[in-house]
Amino acid sequence: MKKYNHFINGQDVAPTNGNWIDSVDPYRGEAWAQIPQGNAADADLAVMAAHRAMTEGPWAQMNPSERARLMIRLADLIEKNAEHLAEIEVRDNGKLLTEMRGQLNYQPNWWRYFAGLADKIEGSVMPIDKPQHFTYTRQEPVGVVVAITAWNSPLLFVAWKCAAAIAAGCTVVIKPSEFASVSTLEFVQLTREAGFPDGVFNVVTGYGAEIGSALIDHPQVAKITFTGSDATGALIYAQAAKSMKRVSLELGGKSPNIVFDDCNLDAAASGVISGIFAATGQTCIAGSRLLVQNSIKAQFTEKLVQLGLTARKGDPMKPDTNIGPVTTQPQYEKILDYMRIAKQEGARCVLGGGPATDANLPGGQFVEPTIFTDVTPEMRIAKEEVFGPVLSIIGFEDEADAIRIANDTIYGLAAGIWTKDMGRSFRMSAAIKAGTIWVNTYRAISYMMPFGGMKHSGIGRESGIVAIQEYLETKSVWISYDDNVPSNPFVMR
């Protein structure tokens, strides 16, 4: 079993307390690697390395085109190592190899896209109203960035956060989830190979409440960028406020997939199933609330059940597997709890509804892909994020009804709309409060397209040109070329 170390200042560094945590393969239910259990002392080492790299040394002096060149080299190395990194992610989080391979092969795009932005970060010259002044703005890197990530797509989140941060000229300390840290520890070795100076990238691992919390409190950290649950996001937001750190949060969702009776029903059924059963439902953008027009509710539900029955559970490494294990034991228990709650609240289970016990499944934690119908908006199953393959079906009458139900949530990450009516697609896209709207598609992402949440789903945006602003501060510079001394020094100029 391989034992990993932190990566600090370009070196492999053992945890100061001498403790490691087992990383468990959720398919086999066995430990397969060990990661450091970092503490506040490790957090300090990593942040100080990132701070030195930010303020002294070659990174601080490097021109942006040279930064971009290193990022492009890193993109090439990710491409070369994509299969290896994808396999590690599957060992660590149990998601399908087909999904993780797709993600890893796509990730170099973020590094190349933001490399292209690195030397186009421009300030402005202002047409100022005060005479004899030259005024301009500078866009400066915010400083040391701490990136805290979730277990479901570890390296995708690294790409979303760090490609923009590094292009902006920041340095980073990454704290991946204790459930899936190995791919990030392997990835960071590529940054050394790409030629990044020591201290620009650092990775420390361990529990959120221990090393994660110490990173947030560290005085040399300027910005926290976080992906995870809204409960942890709220804690981090409050904690970061004490030292006035900048914060971006990518949090959970309870996204509605809204199916109108005029849509292509086959395409909608495929989109709804992929929205909730892909990645075993362990995705922030899961379309976990299906809002379906009452006129087609029975027919569409039957279509979904038939499609759901074709899902093959099994080894996530195999290409014909559709549903892998649930990544963590607590998550497994939570999903089963929600299935029980839904039944108690009166929802009718038409598919699955419990643990999967097929003979071909080993020790890992599997649940049945599950569909509940006759769900009402007041039920917990319609309000709370399950983060598993559990779909709640709610009927609606017309557009106004659909908008009311869709927006009746604390979340606002994404929504799907299925219709052939163009006017309706524009009206609905404007009316739904969510960061991403998909019309006649679902779960599409791109490095070119901003992504992020409204309401409890988060703060800030990743991907697209706007994302780089999350890692920049605007500085305003006033230069006077008036040689006359102001007549009254006691008033504002």
Q: What are the residue numbers of the active site?
A: 250, 284
Residue 228: CB minimum distance to ligand NAD, A = 3
- Amino acid 296 reads I
Among residues 156, 178, 59, 54, the alpha carbon closest in space to that of 111 is found at 156
Q: Which residues bind ligand NAD (CB under 6 A)?
A: 148-152, 175-178, 207-209, 212-213, 216, 227-229, 232, 235-236, 250-253, 284, 385, 387, 413, 453, 458
Identify the three-state secondary structure at position 213.
helix
Residue 176: CB minimum distance to ligand NAD, A = 6
Residue 342: CB minimum distance to ligand NAD, A = 19
Alpha carbons 94 and 148: distance in angstroms, whole number = 20
Alpha carbons 134 and 107: distance in angstroms, whole number = 42
Alpha carbons 75 and 234: distance in angstroms, whole number = 33
Residue number closest to ligand NAD, CB atom: 208
Of 9 and 184, the one with the shorter C-beta distance to ligand NAD is 184
Residue 488: CB minimum distance to ligand NAD, A = 51
Residue 24: CB minimum distance to ligand NAD, A = 14
Alpha carbons 287 and 281: distance in angstroms, whole number = 9
Alpha carbons 296 and 289: distance in angstroms, whole number = 16
Of 368 and 385, the one with the shorter C-beta distance to ligand NAD is 385
- Amino acid 189 reads Q
Strands (E), 345-484: 348-351, 370-373, 390-396, 414-418, 436-439, 458-459, 472-480
Of 271 and 460, the one with the shorter C-beta distance to ligand NAD is 460
Of 235 and 382, the one with the shorter C-beta distance to ligand NAD is 235
Give the pairing type, strands 370-373 and 348-351: antiparallel
Count other C-beta atoms under 10 Å from residue 299's C-beta.
Answer: 11
Of 178 and 315, the one with the shorter C-beta distance to ligand NAD is 178
Residue 283: CB minimum distance to ligand NAD, A = 6
Among residues 177, 203, 168, the alpha carbon closest in space to that of 10 is found at 203
Dihedral of CA 334/386/277/259: which sign?
Answer: positive
Of 283 and 373, the one with the shorter C-beta distance to ligand NAD is 283
